Amino acid sequence: LLALGNDMSDTLMGKIDIIHYVGGYAFAAGLALRILWLFVGPPTARWRDLLPLTSAQRRIWRETLACYLSGFRRPISPYRGHNAFAGPAYLAFFLIAVAQIALGISLSLMPDSEAMNSPLMVMHEWGFFLLLAFVIVHVALVMAHEIAGRHGLISAMIHGHKGFTESEHQALHADWDAALSVQADPSGGTEELDDITSNNGDVTKTRHE
């Protein structure tokens, strides 16, 4: 739409608009489910995992920033769920995505001539570029963490297990124990810890609190 604009025929523009609307509403549905998952999902998917609330999360945030500034010459700190540095970026993504959806719906309710000349259209286009930039940076950093971190980040998205050395495994459990008071279950108990797989001897350890 941005590349061809007025050079498209009305018929082609109409077909692309339909794809655009369907894609937009599908994106809105997916975003709504992900935001819901922030509150009902497992511990590593909830909103607390996206904010540097604990001392361990803040330490990982600082260490990750130092790693980025060094060009990945410094080691990547191990983490169970989301990297503490990425968490605030995810929240920013959610805010931009919600705004993008609201702008898209507002524009779809306007006459075409009014929508094309509306300031909301300019904001909608900038929202697209911001989301595109997030996707590019996100994928690049995921690949960098996969290669430099050697924790199996991408494969963990499929089977739920990361690989750690024994010392990393112990440090993660210590951090998790310290965070239990923050991630306490509303029912009064604490949520189950997921399996953490150690590279040392290929041992899978499960712990329940």
Give strand pairing partners of 205.
196
> Which backbone phi and psi does 204 adopt, to 5 degrees?
-100, 125
The rounded distance, in Å, linking the Cα atoms of 196 and 204 is 6
Portion of the chain with pLDDT greater than 90, in percent: 29
Least confidently predicted of 1-10, 174-183, 196-205? 196-205
Contacts with 123 (C-beta within 8 Å, 6 or more apart), sequence order: 99, 103
Contacts with 124 (C-beta within 8 Å, 6 or more apart), sequence order: 100, 103, 104, 107
> Tell me, what DSSP letter sits at residue 70?
T
Instruction: State residue 97's pLDDT score.
Output: 96
Instruction: State residue 180's pLDDT score.
Output: 56
The rounded distance, in Å, linking the Cα atoms of 60 and 84 is 6
Query: In this predicted model, what pLDDT tens digit does every residue of 69-85 receive, in sequence order?
Result: 998 888 777 777 778 88
pLDDT of residue 130 exceeding 80: yes
What average pLDDT does the structure give for the chain? 79
Dihedral of the alpha carbons of 86, 140, 161, 80, in degrees to the nearest 10: -20
More confident residue, 205 or 109: 109
